[in-house]
Amino acid sequence: MSKKKISLTKVPKLQRNGETGVVRTNNYGAGWSTWANDDWAALLSMHCDIVQAVSDKDYDEAARLAKSIVREVTKDPKAYVCVLGAKNLVVEWVDIGSHFEILEYDGLESLSIVGKGSYLTA
């Protein structure tokens, strides 16, 4: 796991070639960040260790990291994180600084690049 200090607002990101890796589900079933507490969306979708695990197609590790990171940050050892969609995860690369939101329908998530506002930022 990353050694950087993690918070709900300062998430260590995996960035390459001017882009940030963002994790989302690629199939119907269970959403990844959209089926979680809204405060955890940035952690679950952009934390560098989760993005790397998904890039490596290690979905069990991504699920384990999601639970571990959320519990560490919230200081709640029983915090529930829905990881049912872990096997359907993909990484999408978004230009650094882009504002985006993650939309969900029946567990299938998609990214929508938007203008300025209170959205997630790559």
Q: Judge whether residue 73 has pLDDT over 90.
A: yes
How far apart, in whole angstroms, are the C-alpha atoms of residue 2 and residue 88? 23
Q: Judge whether residue 60 has pLDDT over 90.
A: yes
Section 26-54 average pLDDT: 95
Averaged pLDDT score across all residues of the chain: 90
Q: Judge whether residue 91 has pLDDT over 90.
A: yes
Q: Are 73 and 44 in contact (CB under 8 A)?
A: no
Q: What is residue 8's predicted lDDT score, i.e. its pLDDT?
A: 67
Q: What is residue 113's predicted lDDT score, i.e. its pLDDT?
A: 86
How far apart, in whole angstroms, are the C-alpha atoms of residue 103 and residue 59? 21
Q: What is residue 4's predicted lDDT score, i.e. its pLDDT?
A: 53
pTM exceeds 0.85 for this model: yes
CA-CA-CA-CA torsion for 69, 71, 72, 74, nearest 10 degrees?
A: 110
pLDDT interval class at 119 (50, 70, 90)? low
Residue 54 buriedness (CB in 10 A; 0-12 / 13-18 / 19+): buried
